[in-house]
Structures are given as structure tokens and as C-alpha cells.
Amino acid sequence: MSLVIPGPQAVVSFAERVRNAVFEVLDAVPRLTRLLDAVELMLRDVSALLERIEATRVAADGVVARVDETRRNADLLLGGTGPTLERLQELLDVFQPSLDKLQPVIERLADTTSPEEVTALVTLVDRLPVLVKELDEQVIPMLNSMGTVAPDIHDLLGVSKELNEMLARLPGMKRVKKRVDDEQALRGIQ
């Protein structure tokens, strides 16, 4: 193999190419510096974005944990209502026929009852204990004694009849009786 020695023109051409390459490299250094700065800035932005993403993930984990706890509490609450709901359904089944029959009455009562009547009814209900006590202590004993009053009234009527007969035998009583009857007739008393 033979060794080729370059000529002066090839050396000058090579030196010019090296010099141009060095200038191109030197011209690229500021661009590379700007590019490195941009990459560093982008890395900081990416790092900040990753931190925000991590914070969002942590917050989301907290929300998910609270939602899970809420779901568990709701499950416990709903699980505890099962027997109550069953009992309520039984009561509704038992009372449904009566409620259906009472519906027109309740609607009429709602349509025709004024607030004043409701107030009066509440007042009456509030007074019921006193009324019941008075009935028990005074009215009912009086009604029970009415059985003994009837013979007394019968006797009193008999005495009154005898007294009228005696008065009718007195002289001048027929004229007094006629005058009383006339006055009562004028007043419309029978």
C-alpha cells in the first residue's frame, strides 16, 4: 500500500474546512447554551408538574378514602334500617285498608276545617282532663240520683193537683182563673 502525501492545496483546503468546522461549532455553542437553558427550564417545569401531580394524587387518595368511609357508613346505616323497613311495610299492609277508607274523610276534613276550628279542637283536647273529672265527680252522681227524684216529683204533682182543686172551691176563684186565662191568651201563652 502506498502512502499519499497531500499537496499544499489539499492542506490549505483541509485547514479551511477545519477552520469552518471550528466556526460552525463556535456558532453552535450559544445555541447549545440556549438549548441547555431551555431544557433545564423544561426540567424544572416538569419537576413542578410532577410535584403538583403527586399532590393531586395524594388529595385524590384522601377523597377516595373519605368516599369509602362514607360508603361504609351508608352501608351500615342502610343495613340497620332493614328490620325497621320490614316492620313499617307490615304496618302499612295492616293499615292500608283502613287508610283507604279514611282517605275521603280526611280530605273532607282538610278541605272544611279552618285554623280557628283546629285551635278550638286543640283547646278542647287540652281541657278534656278537667271535663272528665267534672263529669265523674258531679254530673254522673247527679244523674244517678235522678232515679230517686222521679217519685218525689210524682208526689209533688199530686200535691199540686190537690191544691188546685182546693183553690177552685174557694169563692171568687173562678173569676180570677178566667182573668188569668184571658191575660195568658192575649200574650199567647198556652
Per-residue cell: 107: 280530605
In a domain, 109, yes or no: no
Residues of the chain falling short of pLDDT 70 = 1, 189-190
pLDDT given for residue 190 in this prediction:
56
Rg of the Cα atoms in the chain:
59
In a 3-state reduction of DSSP, which class is residue 29?
A: helix
In a domain, 53, yes or no: yes
Report the number of distinct structural domains present in the chain. Answer: 1
**How many Å apart are CA 140 and CA 147, to the nearest integer?**
12
In a domain, 65, yes or no: yes
In a domain, 111, yes or no: no
pTM for this entry: 0.34
In a domain, 188, yes or no: no
pLDDT given for residue 1 in this prediction:
61
In a domain, 165, yes or no: no
pLDDT given for residue 128 in this prediction:
92
Per-residue cell: 10: 489539499
pLDDT given for residue 55 in this prediction:
94
What are residue 3's phi and psi, to 5 degrees?
-100, 130
Domain span at residue 64 reads 9-82
